Structure 1
Amino acid sequence: MGQTLAEFLDAAAAGRFPPPDGGTTVVAQENPRDAGVIAFTAHSVVFTDEDPDWVRSTLAAVDADALAAAMNARFLAALLDRTGRRTDTIDLLTVADPLPGEPPLALREIDDPDHPRVRRALGRRDDVRVWAADGGVLVLGRGVAGRWEAAIEVDEDARGRGLGLELAVAARHLVPGGAPVWSQQATGNARSVRVFQAAGYRPIGAESLMLAPAAAPASAPAPR
C-alpha cells in the first residue's frame, strides 16, 4: 500500500484498499490547502502536516471504537482546533472511470473568474474549468492530492428532469488524460448520492476535508 495520500487514492480508484485492520495511517499533506481524514473500510488515513505522534495520542484519547476514532467528532474537533482550519461536513467520497468521446449533453464553457461558481471552486481546486447547461453547472478541477474532482449544481426549477445525472456523466467525458474523476457528496444529501451513483460513481469511503482559513468559502458552500 502506498505511503502518500495520492498513492492511497490511486490504489482505491483501482479497487485496492488499505487492509481492514482497524488501523490509522498518518501521511503528510500533498499541499498546504488540504488536510483531513479519509475513512476506508476499517482503516483511516489522516493527511496533515501536524506531528504524527500528536495525531496518534489524540486518537488514543478519543472515547470511541478504534474503527471510528478518526471520524469521531472529538478527534475532528481537536484537529480543527489545532490547525485553525474550517470544514463543512463529512462527505461520501466516490470515484468513476473516464468515458470516451464528447459528453452527450450540450455544454458551454464559462471562462469568467468572477462568476460565483468559479470563485467558490477556486478556493478548493486548481486548474478549474466550469461548464454551463440550460439549468445547471458542472465544475471540474484538481482537488485533494491533485485528483480530478467534479461538482454539479442544478437550478431549483430545472430539477426532476435528469439534468443532474447528465452533468455527472458529462464529467466522466471531460476529465483530462484518462484519469478517474472523483466527487464528494454530503452524506445527508440523498438526492446527490443517488445521482452520482446512477452516473457510475463508486463509493470509496468517507472524507472530512479541512480547508485553510483563506480557502474556506465566505458564504454558500461549493456545489456538489
Structure 2
Amino acid sequence: MAESLRDILEAAGRGVFPVADGGITVVPQHGDRDAGVIAFTAHSVVFTDEPEGWVRETLGALGCDPLAAAMNPRFLSAFGERAGRVTDTVDVLLTGAPLPGRPEAVLEEVADPGHPRVVSAGGRRDEVRVWAADGGELVLGRGIAGRLEVAVEVAAGARRRGLGRRLATAARRLAGGEPVWAQVAAGNARSLRAFQAAGYRPVGSEALFLRP
C-alpha cells in the first residue's frame, strides 16, 4: 500500500525519512484544509488533491535542479494558482521528542474559546489549547495530517531571558508521549535558536497552502 502523508510524517517524527534519492512523492491531502510541499533531504513530498500528472509535468517543465524543484518559487506560484490557495512563507520544519515531567515554565491554560490566540490558531489547527505565561504564550494543536504542532509567542519586554526556550521545552512535556512539530520562518533566527536550544531538530522545509 502506498504511504499516506500521515505515514510519512509519523516516520519522520521517529527519525525515519524518505530515501534521499532526489525524488518527488505525491500523496493526497489528509483533509481539505491543508495542501503543500515538504522538502526533506534530497526528497520532497507534495500533498495535494490536484492530479499527480499535473504536479510532475509542472515540476519537469521548470528546467532547474530536481533537488530544489518542489520549493522553486515558480512551482509554488503555479501550485497556489492551480489549487486556488495562498501561502505565506517557506518555513523550517522542526521536531521535538516528548519529554517526561512537568513544564519548567509557570503556565496557566486559557479556557476562553474566544481568546485571540485560540481563534487565530483555529484557522490552521484543530483541538487548539493555549497556555499563558508571564510574558508569553504557548499554543498546541492538531495541524497537518493530525500532527501535534506548537507555536510560541514572547512579548517584546520578556525577550532575551530564555522564555522562548522554556515554552518550547514545555510543549515537549505537554505532548502526551508524541513528537511535537514546529514551523518557523527561515528568517526568524531568534525563534530557530530558541527551538534548537529546547532540543528540537530541523528535519526539512515546508510550504503550506490554505484557502484564502
TM-score, normalised to structure 1's length?
Answer: 0.93
What SS does the corresponding residue of 1:31 show, helix, strand or coil?
coil
The residue that corresponds to 2:203 in the other structure is 204
The residue that corresponds to 2:29 in the other structure is 29
CA distance in 2, matches of 1:140, 1:2: 30
CA distance in 2, matches of 1:141, 1:135: 21
The residue that corresponds to 1:65 in the other structure is 65
What SS does the corresponding residue of 2:131 show, helix, strand or coil?
strand
Deviation of residue 63 (structure 1)? 2.8
Deviation of residue 121 (structure 1)? 0.3
The residue that corresponds to 1:11 in the other structure is 11
Deviation of residue 102 (structure 1)? 1.4
The residue correspondences of 1:171-190 to structure 2 (distance < 5 A) are 171-176=171-176, 178-190=177-189
Quote the RMSD (CA, aligned, Å): 1.1
Deviation of residue 113 (structure 1)? 2.1
Deviation of residue 175 (structure 1)? 1.2
What SS does the corresponding residue of 2:202 show, helix, strand or coil?
strand
The residue that corresponds to 1:124 in the other structure is 124
The residue correspondences of 1:1-224 to structure 2 (distance < 5 A) are 3-176=3-176, 178-213=177-212
Deviation of residue 2 (structure 1)? 6.2
CA distance in 2, matches of 1:6, 1:212: 21
Deviation of residue 184 (structure 1)? 0.7
CA distance in 1, matches of 2:175, 2:211: 26
Q: Do the aligned partners of 1:2 and 1:8 also contact (CA within 8 Å) in 2?
A: no
Q: Do the aligned partners of 1:38 and 1:208 also contact (CA within 8 Å) in 2?
A: yes
CA distance in 2, matches of 1:161, 1:102: 20
CA distance in 2, matches of 1:92, 1:132: 25
TM-score, normalised to structure 2's length?
Answer: 0.98
CA distance in 1, matches of 2:60, 2:113: 44
- % identical equivalent positions: 64
What SS does the corresponding residue of 1:17 show, helix, strand or coil?
coil
CA distance in 1, matches of 2:165, 2:74: 36
| Structure 1: 5+ residue stretches without partners | 214-224
Question: Could you report, residue by residue, the CA deviation over 1:20-64 in whole angstroms, capped at 9, with x for unpaired residues?
Answer: 111100000001000000000000000000000000000001131
Q: Do the aligned partners of 1:70 and 1:76 also contact (CA within 8 Å) in 2?
A: yes
Q: Do the aligned partners of 1:104 and 1:170 also contact (CA within 8 Å) in 2?
A: yes
Kindly provide the amino acid, as one letter, of the partner of residue 200 in structure 2.
Y
CA distance in 1, matches of 2:164, 2:15: 26
Aligned residues, how many?
212
Structure 1 segments, 4+ long, off by >6 Å, are none
CA distance in 2, matches of 1:101, 1:2: 37
